[in-house]
Amino acid sequence: MLIAIDGPAASGKGTLARRLARHFNVPHLDTGLLYRATAAGVIDKGYRLEDGAQAASIARGLALVDFDEERLRSREMGEAASVVAAIPEVREALIEAQRRFAARPGGAVLDGRDIGTVICPEAPVKIFVTASPETRAQRRALELAGRGEKVDFAAVLEDIKKRDARDAGRSAAPLRAAADAVTLDTTLLDVEAAFAAALRIVQEKAAPTHG
C-alpha cells in the first residue's frame, strides 16, 4: 500500500498521512521535514539560504531519522524550507532517499508537495489535500500557539499565502495535484471527518469496483 499525499501548508495533510500510516501499519515520511532540516543546516553553517551548492550538499548528508522536530516545525523554519525547496539541486539531492522510502516492500505513506507528481508518480493512491487559506492559517496559528510561539493571525495568514505562491510558482517540481490525484478539501471537515474521507478514497482506489 503506497499512498502519496500532497497539498499546501497546513492543509491537514500531515495529520492525515500519519493517521493513514497508522491505520495501514506502514511507515510514514513527512518530506517537509527534509526541506526544513536542510534549511536548518544551511542556517547553522552560516550559509545563505539561496546558496544552492551548499544547501544541496547539506541535503545529501541528511539522515532520515532523528530530526529535531521541535525546532524544525517553527514558523521561521517553514519559511526557510520553502526557500531552499525552490532550488533544483536541493530537490535532486533528496529524491533518492524519498524514492527508497517509498519502495519499502510493505508500502509507505509519504506527504509533501511533489509526491504524486515527481517522487512516486506510480503510487496507486494519490490524495491532494487542500483547505481555504483562512482555515489553514487558523490551524497553523493554533498549532504554533500550542507550541508556545507567539502568534499574530494576520502574519500567519500572510505567511501561508506567501508560501503558497512560492511553492506553487517555482519551476522545480511546483506544488500541484497529479492528474490522477483525488482532491480532498478539508475546509469544513474536522480531523475525524477528513480521515474518514481519506480512507474512502484509499479503499476506492485500492479496490476499484467496476461496472
* Binding interface with ligand DC (CB under 6 A): 9, 31-32, 35-36, 78, 81-82, 85, 112-114, 163, 167
How many CA atoms, within 13 angstroms, populate the side-chain half-sphere of residue 12? 29
Q: Which is nearer to ligand DC, 8 or 107 (CB)?
A: 8
Closest distance to ligand DC from the beta carbon of 141 (Å): 14
Closest distance to ligand DC from the beta carbon of 78 (Å): 5
Q: Which is nearer to ligand DC, 25 or 66 (CB)?
A: 66
Closest distance to ligand DC from the beta carbon of 65 (Å): 17
Residue with the three cell numbers 479503499: 203
Closest distance to ligand DC from the beta carbon of 113 (Å): 4
Q: Which is nearer to ligand DC, 85 or 178 (CB)?
A: 85
* CB neighbour class for 179 (10 Å; exposed up to 12, middle 13-18, buried from 19): exposed
What string of DSSP letters covers 34-72? HHHHHHHHHHHHT--TT-HHHHHHHHHT--SS---HHHH
Q: Which is nearer to ligand DC, 5 or 203 (CB)?
A: 5
- The sign of the torsion formed by the CA atoms of 62, 63, 68, 74 equals positive
Does an H or E element contain 128, and which? strand 125-130
